């Protein structure tokens, strides 16, 4: 069933790609999707991910995941699984590296706060903002705004989208309206994101001391893997026990996804990319795995994301973003000159773009510059 070296017949290839918005000469020495990946890595938004929160604010500790290390872990998982399934690894990697480019500072609290601020101005969705970043906001090339990525990478970046927004996105928004599916590479990057954060949040949560090994005994997917590690390595404790357990969990989630996806592809009789678009979602966990993952997510939500120390941080983040937005809306002359210029076309959107581009520490500094009495500039 192989058409291009090592690829399944249902993989995205350069031959079945819908190409780029602005025509460009084909790359030399690398594929179109490798070129996408390279452009993403060299973008400004990608470098900013280093100072954006995943769960813990960047300055809370040097060992916690940031949005950058999270994105690298998602790319690693996506590549491994893509290779096992004979998919286009380069495309899958590009999607994974770009998936959080539009995320505002302070993790989900930042997204929710900015969305609330933008309620009367079309809302704020971080997936859509990732697309906006690669399509419009990056200023790197003379011939076009944005990075001029391939259709398939852009399709993968846009994993969710509300119907009103989809209607304005032309071809790219169609699937949200007619219920078709994106490439398997895109579906995969979406679930690899979930595997990455469910596991690294357990690791970071334990490292921070906000959750404990004893609490995790009630979560079967963790407890079972911990028992397996202890059976093999009696007496193992500390960081090694945690890492071995998390490592096994990542592996078992990836293997379950690969096996179930393979069987979904076979059952649906998928032969090519058109079949992929028309079929129900093909990348999935097994029925046995789903409730175990749900338990883990519920545990993380109740014990880590809603931990009072995390909530204090997210509450502060919400206030910072709300304050910045209100101050700029009240007087756009407080914006840096390039955003003042953009704010003449669409004030609220220009302000949202400015805030979404901020790193955690930049937002904190900007808040201090605007609100702290005694700050000069
Ligand atoms: Mg993510």
DSSP helix/strand/coil, 46: helix
Question: Are the CB atoms for 354 and 343 separated by under 8 Å?
Answer: no
Q: Is the pLDDT of residue 76 over 80?
A: yes
Cα 333 to averaged position of ligand 1 atoms, centre (Å): 34
Residue 161: per-residue pLDDT: 84
Residue 334 Cα to ligand 1 midpoint, Å, equals: 32
Ligand 1 centroid to Cα of residue 184, in Å, is 18
What is the average per-residue pLDDT within 212-228?
A: 97
181: closest CA among 85, 277, 67? 277
* Cα 71 to averaged position of ligand 1 atoms, centre (Å): 6
User: Does the domain spanning 32-309 belong to CATH 3.20.20.70?
Assistant: no
Q: How many CB atoms lie within 10 A of CB 286?
A: 13
Q: What is the distance in A from the centroid of ligand 1 to the CA of 295?
A: 20
Please tell me the distance between residue 68's alpha carbon and the centre of ligand 1 in angstroms: 9
How much distance in Å is there from the Cα of 193 to the middle of ligand 1? 5
What's this model's pTM, rounded to 2 decimal places? Answer: 0.95
Q: HEC states along 107-130?
A: HHHHHHHHHHHCHHHCCCCHHHHH
Give the pLDDT confidence of 133-176 residue by residue, as tens digits: 999 999 999 999 999 999 999 999 998 888 888 888 888 999 99
Per-residue confidence at 4, pLDDT binned at 50, 70, 90? Answer: low
Dihedral of alpha carbons 123, 355, 305, 372, sign: negative
Q: What percent of the chain has pLDDT over 70?
A: 96
What does the pLDDT average to over 356-371? 94
Residue 167: per-residue pLDDT: 87
- Region 272-288: mean pLDDT is 97
How high is the mean pLDDT of the chain? 93
The Å distance, Cα 269 to ligand 1 centre, comes to 31
Domain edges within the chain: 32-309, 310-371
Supply the angle between the helices 89-98 and 32-41 in degrees, to the nearest 10: 20
Ligand 1 centroid – CA 203 distance (Å): 16
Ligand 1 centroid – CA 365 distance (Å): 25
Checking if the pLDDT of 1 tops 50, the result is: no
Q: How far is the CA of 268 from the centre of ligand 1 (A)?
A: 29
CA of 376 to the centre of ligand 1 (A): 37
Q: What would the mean pLDDT of 274-294 be, rounded to a whole number?
A: 97
Mean pLDDT, residues 333-361 taken together: 94
CA of 95 to the centre of ligand 1 (A): 11
């Amino acid at each position: 069933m192989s058409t291009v070296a090592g690829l399944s017949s249902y993989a995205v290839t350069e031959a079945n790609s819908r190409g780029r918005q602005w025509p460009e000469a084909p790359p030399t020495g690398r594929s179109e999707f490798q070129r996408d990946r390279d452009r993403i890595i060299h973008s400004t938004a990608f470098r900013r991910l280093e100072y954006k929160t995943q769960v813990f604010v960047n300055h809370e500790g040097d060992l916690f995941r940031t949005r950058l290390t999270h994105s690298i872990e998602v790319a690693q998982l996506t590549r491994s699984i893509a290779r096992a399934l004979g998919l286009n690894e380069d495309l899958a990697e590009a999607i994974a590296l770009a998936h959080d480019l539009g995320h505002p500072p302070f993790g989900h609290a930042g997204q929710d706060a900015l969305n609330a601020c933008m309620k009367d101005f079309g809302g704020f969705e971080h997936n859509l903002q990732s697309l906006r970043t690669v399509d419009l906001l990056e200023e790197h090339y003379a011939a076009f705004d944005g990075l001029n990525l391939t259709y398939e990478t852009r399709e993968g970046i846009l994993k969710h989208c509300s119907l009103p927004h989809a209607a304005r996105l032309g071809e790219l928004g169609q699937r949200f309206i007619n219920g078709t599916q994106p490439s398997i590479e895109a579906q995969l990057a979406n679930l690899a994101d979930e595997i990455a954060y469910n596991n690294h949040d357990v690791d970071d949560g334990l490292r921070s001391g906000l959750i404990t090994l004893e609490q995790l005994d009630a979560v079967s997917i963790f407890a079972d893997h911990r028992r397996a590690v202890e059976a093999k390595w009696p007496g193992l404790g500390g960081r090694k026990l945690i890492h071995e357990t998390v490592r096994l969990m990542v592996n078992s989630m990836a293997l379950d996804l690969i096996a179930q996806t393979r069987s979904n592809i076979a059952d649906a009789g998928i032969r090519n990319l058109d079949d992929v678009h028309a079929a129900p979602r093909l990348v999935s966990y097994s029925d046995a795995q789903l409730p175990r993952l749900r338990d883990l997510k519920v545990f993380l939500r109740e014990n880590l994301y809603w931990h009072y120390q995390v909530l204090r941080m997210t509450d502060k983040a919400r206030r910072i973003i709300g304050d910045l937005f209100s101050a700029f809306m009240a007087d756009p002359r407080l914006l840096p000159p390039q955003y003042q210029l953009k704010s003449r076309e669409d004030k609220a959107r220009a302000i949202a773009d400015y805030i979404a581009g901020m790193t955690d520490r930049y937002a904190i500094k900007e808040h201090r510059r605007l609100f702290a009495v005694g700050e000069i500039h």
